[in-house]
Structures are given as C-alpha cells and as structure tokens.
Amino acid sequence: MIMAYLYVVKSADFLFIMRQTGLTKGNLSSHLSKLEAGGLIEIKKEFVGKIPRTFLSLSDNGRKAFEEYQQQMKQFLENI
C-alpha cells in the first residue's frame, strides 16, 4: 500500500502516508526502514521553517519493481 501511494506522487511526507495507510508511527517507520534497506524507497529529512519533516519517494528500482508487480497482478487476474 505504501508503494502504491508513492507511485502516483513524486514524493509524500511521512504524516500523509501515515494518515492514508492508517499505520501507527512505529509500524510505518518499520515498514519504511525495510523498504529503504531493499532500495525501493528514498527517505529525506528536511526542515520546513523550523519544523522537521520526512519526505518519502520511490527510487528508480522501486518504481520498476512496482510496475512489475502491477503487470504480474494484471496477468494473474486475467487468468482467473
């Protein structure tokens, strides 16, 4: 679900993804760490004014992996 949201936007902040997925901060952080370790997403931490914000985006490998997943799901559903 996280990758699906990131696929349709250039980047999104942590709180947006947290609200959209319904995950807690801890659960989302855990998922993001695994996706980042796998090279599927990029995490950038910045200050907007004096407020720290975390921005998430798909890496090139993440975008390719998600497109392959979409294709596999389409083929699967066509074969049912």
Q: What range does the domain containing 6 cover?
A: 2-78
Query: How many folded domains does the chain comprise?
Result: 1
Task: Report the 10 Å Cβ neighbour count for 67.
Answer: 11
Check whether 48 has a pLDDT greater than 90.
no
Summarised one tens digit per residue, pLDDT across range 18-32 is: 999 999 999 999 999
Residue 27's domain is classified under what CATH number? 1.10.10.10
Structure confidence at residue 56 (pLDDT): 98
pTM as predicted:
0.87
Hey, is 50 helix, strand or coil? coil
Check whether 80 has a pLDDT greater than 90.
no
Contacts with 40 (C-beta within 8 Å, 6 or more apart), sequence order: 3, 58, 59, 61, 62, 65
Mean pLDDT value of segment 26-51: 96
